[in-house]
Amino acid sequence: MQGTSAKTPTAAGEAAAPERPLVKLDAGVMQREGAAAAPQVEPIIELERVSVRYDGKPAVRNVTFDVGSNLITALIGPSGCGKSTLLRCLNRMNDLIPGAVVEGKIRYHGQDIYDPEVDPVELRKLIGMVFQKPNPFPKSIYDNVAYGPRVTGMKGNLDEIVERALRRAALWDEVKDRLKDNAYSLSGGQQQRLCIARCLAVEPEVILMDEPCSALDPISTARIEDLMVELKERYSIVIVTHNMQQAARVSDMTAFLTVESDEHGVRAGELIEFGPTERIFTNPADPRTEAYVTGKMG
Ligand SMILES: Nc1ncnc2c1ncn2[C@@H]1O[C@H](COP(=O)(O)OP(=O)(O)OP(=O)(O)O)[C@@H](O)[C@H]1O
């Protein structure tokens, strides 16, 4: 599988990117400076007419868009429109759901990820996932981060790999003196950053985040949002969020989905609009997008 060549691991101890100031957008939502400019999308993942069914029942229909390299792409839309389903397609997590069938093409660096030659376990190392609720293992902080490198037999000094991942997840300073403590002794926000560190430890290229802040307080949420903006220097991120302010604050590109009926009256999630986040929130092309982002629908 292609894909690791673009990555240049750096030594532990690198400085975190400076926090970006917030700027006000016309729509009254706050967005970090830099995310406002219309970004160039150099695709790392391409979705082409992707449809998903569960036990024959359509959940998502004909979705086409590109996930840009080193950008944050937000998937937004009302409950049940298929955001999580679509996210799980991107690293074949739907393979683990009995009855789930994915159609269409998903290409990662141009390669069809559903090709029988592709090993989904290898794919998930390159396209990692962070879930809604922090889900650390009942192990020490160190062992949580070391878990992936150990089971995948990653080469290198394990202490350095753990430190690097914890630094990139902006958690090192808070845990460096308690690495042997159980992960459950951390706060919810720290646990979520630990899960991000666990994901980063195996050197992914893409991070999928399914409502990563929904179980967190506003301060922990702000830390994760800052972290996401720092991480995109090195990784490509796709985030599912119900929080439109969050999508507007952190993402560069936004895909808006909603449930629509086809000509036979069969309902499934469809992509209504995809584009630079600033435009989607301030000047959407479709009235359904406008209704959703202004809170009149969903
Ligand atoms: N494991 C599953 N088995 C059967 N149907 C499923 C499964 N997961 C999702 N669905 C169905 O697929 C559709 C899309 O669900 P999905 O969870 O992807 O939407 P969502 O936009 O992420 O929703 P929410 O915002 O509420 O989390 C829904 O109709 C849902 O009931």
Q: How many CB atoms lie within 10 A of CB 26?
A: 9
Terminal alpha carbon distance of the chain = 39
Structure tokens at 218: 């506003």
Kindly list the domain boundaries of the chain, sorted by start residue. 36-135+205-293
Question: Where does the chain have alpha helices with state H?
Answer: 83-89, 120-126, 141-151, 158-168, 172-175, 188-200, 218-231, 244-250, 277-282, 287-293
Radius of gyration in angstroms for the set of CA atoms belonging to the chain, rounded to a whole number: 19
* CA angle in degrees (0–180, nearest 5) for 238-244-249: 70
Pocket test for ligand 1, best of 85, 214, 256, 272 (most atoms within 8 A of CB): 85
Mean pLDDT value across residues 194-201: 95
Query: How far is Cα 248 from Cα 252, in angstroms, rounded to an integer?
Result: 8
Q: Is the pLDDT of residue 27 over 60?
A: no
Tell me if 275 sits within 8 A of 253, measured CB to CB.
Answer: yes
Cα 240 to ligand 1 centre (Å):
13
CATH for the stretch 36-135+205-293: 3.40.50.300
Q: Per-residue DSSP letters for 175-222? A: HTT-TTSBGGGS-HHHHHHHHHHHHHTT--SEEEEESTTTTS-HHHHH
Query: How far is Cα 41 from Cα 66, in angstroms, rounded to an integer?
Result: 8
Query: How far is Cα 49 from Cα 105, in angstroms, rounded to an integer?
Result: 7
Please report where in the chains the tokens 């990820």 appear, as a residue.
113
Q: Of 24-28, 91-95, 132-136, 270-274, which gets the smallest average pLDDT?
A: 24-28
Query: How far is Cα 24 from Cα 262, in angstroms, rounded to an integer?
Result: 38
Tell me if 252 sits within 8 A of 68, measured CB to CB.
Answer: yes
Q: What is the 8-class DSSP label of residue 98? A: T
Pocket-forming residues, ligand 1, beta carbon under 6 Å: 54, 59, 77, 79-85, 97, 242, 269
Q: Is the pLDDT of residue 296 over 90?
A: no
Percent share of the chain, pLDDT over 90: 80
Higher pLDDT, 36 or 69: 69
Binned at pLDDT 50, 70 and 90, residue 30 comes out as very low
Nearest residue CA, atom 16 of ligand 1?
Answer: 82
Cα 244 to ligand 1 centre (Å):
19
